[in-house]
Amino acid sequence: MRRRDHRREPRRESKAAMQVGDRILVNKGIAKRVYLIARTEIPHSTEKVFVTKSGGNFTIGLKVWKSDYMWSEKSRMWIPKR
């Protein structure tokens, strides 16, 4: 039995959890905007993440629900579930 050479093929992994610095596509009304995930740990909530345009920890941004998004390997960002 031959071992596959993993150096030649890019690894395909699906992201199971959101990480700081990941891109996320947010639909707000008619506008679609790409934000950066700034914090995944929010006090008193296990289901929300904090996203900003700049990616800073303490800038003005939005809180979004983790369960409303899924990872898209094609665009390499979190996109809304349909």
Examine residue 55 and state whether it is found in any structural domain, yes or no: yes
Examine residue 14 and state whether it is found in any structural domain, yes or no: no
What is the Cα–Cα distance from 38 to 63, expressed in whole angstroms?
Answer: 10
The predicted model scores a pTM of 0.73
Examine residue 62 and state whether it is found in any structural domain, yes or no: yes
| 36-69 confidence digits (pLDDT tens) | 999 888 888 889 999 998 767 667 888 999 999 9
Examine residue 2 and state whether it is found in any structural domain, yes or no: no
The yes-or-no verdict on residue 30 having pLDDT over 80 is yes
What is the Cα–Cα distance from 70 to 37, expressed in whole angstroms?
Answer: 14
Examine residue 1 and state whether it is found in any structural domain, yes or no: no
Phi/psi at 35 (5° precision) = -115, 170
The domain tally of the chain equals 1
Domain extent for 55 = 23-80
Examine residue 30 and state whether it is found in any structural domain, yes or no: yes
